[in-house]
Amino acid sequence: MLIGKRLAFIGAGSMAQALLHGLVGGKLLAPEDVTVTNRSNDERLRMVRDRWGVHVTRDKAEITSRSDILLVACKPYDMAGTLAEIGRYVRPEQIVVSLAAGVPTSVMERYLPAGTPVIRAMPNTSSRVQESATAIAAGRWAGEHSLAVAEAIFASVGKVSVVPEAAMDAVTAVAGSGPAYVYLFVEALIAAGEAVGLSPEAARELAVQTVYGAARMLVETGADPAELRRQVTSPNGTTAAALQVLEARGFQQALADAVARAVERAGELARQAAGEDAAPAVPVASATERSA
């Protein structure tokens, strides 16, 4: 699906770089077929050019003319301005893929020529190691071909699920922001290990390998996580004692509340992108809310 395609990134933040690492670093796209721009960070554009050998430009007409697929990797609140700037150059046969959390395809379609296929995607930063969990959803003019092209892009850096757009805010909260939850857990596990006497090096090595091994068990056995947890937990043993503390301190509820807040924040971002009023909120650390 990607053979002969030209891809342009509008935004050069961490998510765009993760995809560049997978697509160009993995030799799925030739550097000369990739163009990158961002809003104002010249140093970052030079870094992207030097690292992956791609073409960089500030010319919006040039970036659209050099591409078949436009991948918009800007912040959600920059989406309207970005699309307003490039919309006059977009051709209806181009595919526009958005990575902005919470911004519906209907909002993006307002700024583009009628008939332009728009895909909304939510990868995560594990794209850098080709292990992203990505969901994609089609706008009203995006057919099977456009979906297949988007799926090929993100399948190159992990696993892809096609979902209804109504599910995308939930995807953002679970998979888009999810790596941050895991990293916070690992940080806490390392700190706890050090507190009970492990060296920092040993605590890190043991915590990281434990999470990696547990994830592989889930993938390779296909077992229900509750069953795997039961297999680790001997009655009246150390694991049972530890889990009692986590449950008493509200571990599951805290995670449920965090995911619900991320979904809520995605809705606020959607209203802001649509030009509606939204109450100020505490920012959520999402995988796609990085500087472009």
Instruction: Tell me: do 184 and 44 sit in the same domain.
Output: no
Instruction: Tell me: do 147 and 11 sit in the same domain.
Output: yes
Instruction: Tell me: do 136 and 197 sit in the same domain.
Output: no
Instruction: Tell me: do 112 and 143 sit in the same domain.
Output: yes
Classify residue 277: in a domain, yes or no.
no
Question: Residue 202's domain spans which residues?
Answer: 178-232
Above 60 in pLDDT, residue 279?
no
φ and ψ at 184, to 5 degrees?
-65, -40
Q: What pTM, to 2 d.p., does this model score?
A: 0.84
pLDDT of residue 281: 38
pLDDT of residue 128: 81
Instruction: Tell me: do 11 and 140 sit in the same domain.
Output: yes
Classify residue 274: in a domain, yes or no.
no
- The helix or strand, by DSSP H or E, that contains position 108, with its residue range, turns out to be helix 105-109
Instruction: Tell me: do 160 and 189 sit in the same domain.
Output: no
Going by pLDDT thresholds of 50, 70 and 90, the confidence category of residue 276 is: low
Above 90 in pLDDT, residue 2?
no
What is the rounded average pLDDT for all residues in the chain? 90
Above 70 in pLDDT, residue 24?
yes
Going by pLDDT thresholds of 50, 70 and 90, the confidence category of residue 240 is: very high
* CA distance to 180, 181, 273, per residue, from 259 (Å): 12, 10, 21
Closest CA to 11 of 87, 63, 68, 66: 63
Residues 6+ apart with CB under 8 A from 217: 223, 228
Above 80 in pLDDT, residue 275?
no
* CA distance to 124, 153, 192, 257, 276, per residue, from 186 (Å): 18, 30, 10, 19, 38
Instruction: Tell me: do 216 and 138 sit in the same domain.
Output: no
Classify residue 292: in a domain, yes or no.
no
- The helix or strand, by DSSP H or E, that contains position 138, with its residue range, turns out to be strand 132-138
Instruction: Tell me: do 160 and 206 sit in the same domain.
Output: no
Q: Taking residues 80-85, report their average pLDDT.
A: 90
Going by pLDDT thresholds of 50, 70 and 90, the confidence category of residue 21 is: confident
